[in-house]
Amino acid sequence: MQTNLQPKLHVAIIMDGNGRWAEARGLPRPAGHEAGADSVRAVVRAAVEHQVTALSLYAFSTYNWRRPPAEVAGLMGLLRHFLMIEVPWLRDFGVRISVLGRRDRLPLGLARAIGHAERSTRDGRRLHLRIAIDYSARDAILAAAADHLTAEALAERLATEDVDLMIRTGGDQRLSDFLLWESAYAEFYFTEVKWPDFGPDEFAAALADYRSRTRSFGGVRPSPAGLTSAGNSPSA
């Protein structure tokens, strides 16, 4: 919950392209994931600077268990390392960390690091950073809908909020089972840029594009500024 009057802005990112980034440089795929961790740091800082109130990052999907065991182990180790190393400055920055997804299949060290990160940043009020690990939106919806629910109760149990802007790096244009319910009215921004090359400038460009769009949520599109409301019908 925000304690100030900052308008809510939830940005979600499907951080894709690490493997191709590494392969293009003749490096092993894990080198791409390590470079991607630098992008996470830079983008979290940029999000705070741009008054983004929630940032949801897709770090590992339930489908990513299909990757070679060494790559999976490397990713789990990297996530654990990231949480342990970054927590102090994130806490000082006013970031609250939550992790979405299943915990029961994660290595114990990572599960512990998640618990520690969540506990020690729970008072953060500037940015709610959600990291999705072993996450599937369909599984999250099924778990939340286990009882008969209203839409509001379901949204509450999903433990996140409506996405305003959904970014995917790496050139593919799909959701890969990320935040399906929450993206019902999201604006989409796809970029060819691979995640390790995505930094504050790219983040600012995505936000500027988002801010230039008209969102009418099924209502009548607002007339362009400076015109009267006479011709108020949706334009093609």
Q: Is 170 in the site for ligand IPE (CB under 6 A)?
A: yes
Could you say whether residue 14 binds ligand IPE (CB under 6 A)? yes
User: Would you call 4 a catalytic residue per the annotation?
Assistant: no
First to last CA, the chain: 38
Min CB(60)–ligand IPE separation in Å? 5
Residue that is written with structure tokens 């950073």 in the block: 129
Q: Please give the C-alpha separations between residue 136 and each of 64, 163, 209, 219, in angstroms, as whole numbers.
A: 10, 16, 28, 31
Q: At 115, which amino acid appears?
A: G
72 near ligand IPE, judged by CB under 6 A: no
- By a kind-dependent CB cut-off of 5 to 8 A, residue 58 interacts, out of ligand IPE, Mg ion, none, with ligand IPE
DSSP letter string, 49-88? HTT--EEEEEEEEGGGGGS-HHHHHHHHHHHHHHHHHHHH
Stretch that binds ligand IPE, among 16-24, 123-131, 147-155, 227-235 (CB under 6 A): 16-24
Tokens representing 109 are 């060290």
Q: Can you tell me which of 9, 10, 11, 19 binds ligand IPE, judged by CB under 6 A? A: 19
* Token pair of 125 as six digits: 């009020």
**Residue span binding ligand IPE (CB under 6 A) among the ranges 10-18, 86-94, 137-145, 216-224:** 10-18
Q: Which of 117, 23, 104 is nearest to 65 (CA)?
A: 104
CA distances from 123 to 61, 90, 96, 120 (A): 27, 11, 7, 8
Binding residues for Mg ion (CB under 5 A):
16
38 catalytic residue (yes or no): no
Q: Which stretch binds ligand IPE (CB under 6 A): 14-22, 44-52, 109-117, 122-130?
A: 14-22
CB of 126 to Mg ion, least distance (A): 30
Strand-pair partners of 129: 55, 97
Q: Is 134 in the site for ligand IPE (CB under 6 A)?
A: no
- Part of the chain binding ligand IPE (CB under 6 A), chosen from 39-47, 58-66, 85-93, 96-104: 58-66
Catalytic residue among 4, 16, 92, 139: 16
Q: Does 20 bind ligand IPE (CB under 6 A)?
A: yes
Q: Which of 4, 18, 38, 64 is catalytic?
A: 64
Q: What is the DSSP pairing of strand 165-168 with strand 10-14?
A: parallel
Residues designated catalytic:
16, 64
Footprint of ligand IPE (CB under 6 A): 14-20, 58-61, 63-64, 75, 170, 174, 176
